[in-house]
Amino acid sequence: MNGHFFIRFFRMASIVMLLVAVALLAAIATMHFAIHGAEVEVPALKGMTVAEARSQAAGMGLNLNVDNRYYSGDVAAGHILSQSPAAGTVVRHEWRVRVAESLGPQKVDVPDTVGSEERVAGLQLRRAGLEVGVTAHLPDGGAAEGTVLAQDPPAHAQGIAQPSINLLVAVPDDQTPDGYVMPDMVGLPVVTAQAQLTREGLELAQPLFADVHVAPVGTGSAPPVPPVVPGSVIAQQPPAGARVDLKTQVKLTVAK
């Protein structure tokens, strides 16, 4: 009788252990599904229309944000130009995918707003299908307050990246400037250029000195090319006309 009892006991114990093992495996599988089921692989959205990309992202549990719009000669207007994260990246459910939308090739002519009042300049740009980008201010006693002193990109520029134009606007002399138009330093002695930029409060990098090719003396009817004076500025970064501020570092290349 004892033998039968032990046999039945071990059978029951085996069944209980089997049930525990099955429950444990089920719990592990459930946990694995819960963890990995909350992840999704970002699809390739480039080239899709914004509507198509938004629909595909939503179907995979992702959120789509159009962060920027750029001109492009390669991707048709209204289609996705780039995305972040890249296609194939594994992210969590509800992750935000940021995309840039193509505006197609640049077809608008950039109007000349220099000399206009700031509000009028804004209207000109919006009429042309452009936006006002960053507006910087510069004290200028020679111009009425609110007059546009410079713009970037300049009038009639081609190949611009975004449909926005940055403006430099005149303010009274007693105000602190928050931006400048980069002057043309090329041809000036480096010490003169440095003194002028320092006066404006701009930061200067260490000048880069470069060898300059000596042009041959002109022959026949061709006028002689004047030699480059050693110690003069032959290149600059940012270029003349660009908007700069007190955080911009100016780099000058100087003839040896």
Half-sphere exposure of 226 (CA within 13 A, CB side): 4
The rounded distance, in Å, linking the Cα atoms of 129 and 162 is 11
**Does the pLDDT at position 12 exceed 50?**
yes
Better pLDDT: 152 or 34: 152
Tokens of 219: 């022959």
pLDDT tier for residue 57 given thresholds of 50, 70 and 90: very high
**Whose CA is closest to 138, among 200, 85, 81, 89?**
200
Half-sphere exposure of 152 (CA within 13 A, CB side): 17
Beta strand segments in 71-144, E = 80-84, 90-92, 96-102, 131-139
Strand partners, 243: 181
Q: Calculate the average pLDDT of the chain.
A: 81
Which of the residue ranges 16-20, 91-95, 201-205 would you say has the lowest mean pLDDT?
Answer: 16-20
Say if strands 63-70 and 96-102 run parallel, antiparallel, or are unpaired.
Answer: parallel
> Which domains are seen in the chain, by residue range?
42-102 (3.30.10.20), 118-171 (3.30.10.20), 180-217+226-255 (3.30.10.20)
- Across the range 72-88, mean pLDDT stands at 91
**Whose CA is closest to 63, among 85, 34, 33?**
85
Q: What angle do CA 104, 70, 41 make, to 5 degrees?
A: 100
- Write the pLDDT tens digit of every residue in 139-193: 777 888 999 988 888 889 888 888 989 888 888 876 666 667 777 788 888 888 8
- Residue 30: the pLDDT is 54
- Residue 213: the pLDDT is 64
The rounded distance, in Å, linking the Cα atoms of 213 and 101 is 45
pTM: 0.53
144-164 burial string, b = 16+ CB within 10 Å, else e? eeebbbbbbbeeeeeebeebe
Better pLDDT: 97 or 1: 97
Tokens of 142: 């020679």
- Residue 112: the pLDDT is 95
Half-sphere exposure of 20 (CA within 13 A, CB side): 6
Contact in structure between 130 and 153 (CB atoms under 8 Å): no
Q: Residues, the chain, total?
A: 256
- Across the range 87-114, mean pLDDT stands at 91
pLDDT tier for residue 115 given thresholds of 50, 70 and 90: very high
The rounded distance, in Å, linking the Cα atoms of 214 and 189 is 18
Q: Classify residue 106 by burial, with Cβ atoms within 10 Å: 0-12, 13-18, 19+.
A: middle
